[in-house]
Amino acid sequence: MNAARSLTLRSISKSYVAGQNVVDGIDLDVQPGEFVSFLGPSGSGKTTTLMMIAGFERPTAGEIGIAGRTIDAVEPYDRNIGMVFQNYALFPHMSAAQNVGFPLRMRRVPKADADRKVAAALAMIGLSEFAARKPAELSGGQQQRVALARALVFEPDLVLLDEPLGALDKTLREQMQIELKRIHRELGVTMIYVTHDQTEAMAMSDRIAVFSQGRIEQIGSPTEVYFTPRTSFVASFVGDSNLLRGRTLGDGVVDVECLGTIATGARDLPAGRDVSILIRPETIRIRPAATAPSPTGSTMRIEEVVNYGESYLVVGRKAGRDLRVRVPGIDMPPVARGDDCTIEWDAARVHVI
């Protein structure tokens, strides 16, 4: 539909109080048509960064560019960026169609043309019959779609989404995730998606930028961020984790605090280095009855078994540390609280940080 644009952030910083950077030197290159998520806890600077891209906040330092052109001096109303706000920010006194038509009206698009575009946008989100309704007469999910249509209808260079699904219930949220993906695929527009929900970021993004304390801790594909996090923060923030301290012994062998010496995939790390070990709970298999520990296995005493339906979470204890194991429902062996059991994993799945 429109030519997708790239976005570049060069050492962007923002401070409200001198010496305290809310955003602290963000560098980012977003490719045309890419879907990039800003993932992080609240106060990590992800929303502030988004607001600076939209132009509502001015960076204290750094440079923002779209398609290679600096936009720092461009006012928000001239930036041609679409944005979906957290609470949708629909105009309450305008109908759904008027809301969607607003950006076209601002751009003095001829009426016939605008009407056609609004109708197409409403059709795209499946709300054609609701064109005349006011936001108050629409459900949360419908309001969300109207906000999305309004941010897309004028073919912006870039679309920013600020936790747009936060207020929806779980089923609706998953449905909207799929719909957003479809829209992104169909329009090919560059999208920046801010969220604190790691499953959402995982499900939708081409790349995830993990924010912490005003910096990007890691940026990479969902698989990279999930399985090979660069820091313990990323490991613990993205997904469920077993994060243990250890010391390398060379040739991929690590002496881990509660598991003893185990084999890992990191064969090129020199010996004698303090590291963190990440074993994702779902990469661990569980067998009833304790057997002798091996380089890719150990034993633990089961403290808690939680049934989630599609999977079980088994929390065990080993030498004073909790170990979490996630087992698909159909693979769950007959183990119970208080049992000793054997746990095993693949050395290649053990990530050393």
Partner 1 sequence: MARSTVTLSLLIAILLAGPMFIVVPMSFSTAPSLQFPPPGFWLGYYRHFFSDPNWTGPVVNSFLIGGGTMVLAMLLGVPASFALVRHQFRFRALFRLLVLMPLIVPHIVMALGYYSYFGLLGLVQSMTGVILAHTCLSIPVVVLTVTSALVNFDRRLENAAANLGARPLTTFRLVTFPVLRPAFLVAALFAFIHSFDEAVIAIFISGRDSATLPRQMFNSFQMEADPAISAASSLLLAAVLAVIGMQLAARLVRARRPRHPA
Could you tell me the smallest distance in angstroms from the CB atom of residue 200 to partner 1? 21
Sign of CA dihedral 107, 109, 111, 115: negative
Q: Which of 41, 43, 76, 126 binds partner 1 (CB under 8 A)?
A: 76
Q: Which of 41, 56, 123, 186 binds partner 1 (CB under 8 A)?
A: 56
Output 127 or 286, the one with its CB closest to partner 1. 127
Q: Which of 139, 175, 261, 291 binds partner 1 (CB under 8 A)?
A: 139
- Our finding on whether 298 is near partner 1 (CB under 8 A) is no
- Our finding on whether 54 is near partner 1 (CB under 8 A) is yes
- Report whether 193 contacts 161 (CB < 8 A): yes
Output 134 or 285, the one with its CB closest to partner 1. 134
Tokens encoding 301: 């005493």
- Our finding on whether 152 is near partner 1 (CB under 8 A) is no
Q: Which of 142, 242, 248, 276 binds partner 1 (CB under 8 A)?
A: 142
Output 138 or 275, the one with its CB closest to partner 1. 138
Q: How far apart are CA 216 and CA 12, in angstroms?
A: 11
- Our finding on whether 102 is near partner 1 (CB under 8 A) is yes
Output 79 or 280, the one with its CB closest to partner 1. 79
- Our finding on whether 211 is near partner 1 (CB under 8 A) is no
- Our finding on whether 78 is near partner 1 (CB under 8 A) is yes
Q: How far apart are CA 313 and CA 308, in angstroms?
A: 8
Q: Dihedrals φ, ψ of 88, to 5°? A: 75, -35
Segment lying near partner 1 (by CB under 8 A), choices 18-26, 78-86, 218-226, 273-281: 78-86
Those residues with Cβ within 8 angstroms of residue 110's Cβ, 6 or more apart along the chain or in another chain: none
Could you tell me the smallest distance in angstroms from the CB atom of residue 159 to partner 1? 11
- Our finding on whether 83 is near partner 1 (CB under 8 A) is yes
- Our finding on whether 87 is near partner 1 (CB under 8 A) is yes
Segment lying near partner 1 (by CB under 8 A), choices 33-41, 53-61, 278-286, 317-325: 53-61
- Our finding on whether 267 is near partner 1 (CB under 8 A) is no
Those residues with Cβ within 8 angstroms of residue 268's Cβ, 6 or more apart along the chain or in another chain: none
Q: Which of 63, 113, 137, 240 binds partner 1 (CB under 8 A)?
A: 137
Could you tell me the smallest distance in angstroms from the CB atom of residue 347 to partner 1? 50
Could you tell me the smallest distance in angstroms from the CB atom of residue 177 to partner 1? 20
Tokens encoding 240: 């469920």
How many residues sit close enough to partner 1 to count as binding (CB under 8 A)? 32
In order of 89, 96, 103, 127, 166, the CA distances from 141 in angstroms are 13, 13, 21, 11, 11
- Report whether 281 contacts 287 (CB < 8 A): no
Output 94 or 290, the one with its CB closest to partner 1. 94
Residues that bind partner 1 (CB under 8 A): 54-56, 75-83, 85-87, 89-93, 102-103, 106-107, 133, 136-139, 142, 150, 154
